[in-house]
A = this chain, B = another copy of it.
């Protein structure tokens, strides 16, 4: 299954509770698109949030994020994973 790194900008000051709630919203529906979100990390100073997933396509990742209310700004297919 391909891996993806998606990035959300503009989330400066997001709290752990807010990020956890957003991540849980993804996890709750991810199986409907065959996506598995492995991690979410935030740089609360820059406002960048990084999500690592296994998914059939970038579109599948984005559909889950959109339905959960937080569309990704960038989705990177990770063609090399070390």
Q: Which residues of B contact A40 (CB under 8 A)?
A: 80, 82
A-B residue pairs, 10 tightest by C-beta: A43-B76, A42-B80, A41-B78, A40-B82, A44-B79, A16-B80, A23-B82, A19-B80, A41-B81, A5-B50
A64 shortest CB reach to chain B, Å: 15
Q: Give chain A's interface residue range (CB within 8 Å of chain B).
A: 20 to 34
* Residue from A19, A23, A42 with most neighbouring chain B CB atoms (10 Å): A42
For chain A, what secondary structure do more than half of its interface residues adopt (helix, strand, loop), or is it mixed? strand
A contacts, CB < 8 Å to B: 3, 5, 14, 16, 19-20, 23, 39-46, 48, 50, 76-82
Other than A40-B80, A42-B78, A44-B79, give 18 A-B pairs with Cβ distance below 8 A.
A3-B41, A5-B50, A14-B80, A19-B80, A19-B82, A20-B82, A39-B82, A40-B82, A41-B76, A41-B82, A43-B77, A43-B78, A43-B79, A44-B80, A45-B77, A46-B76, A48-B76, A50-B76
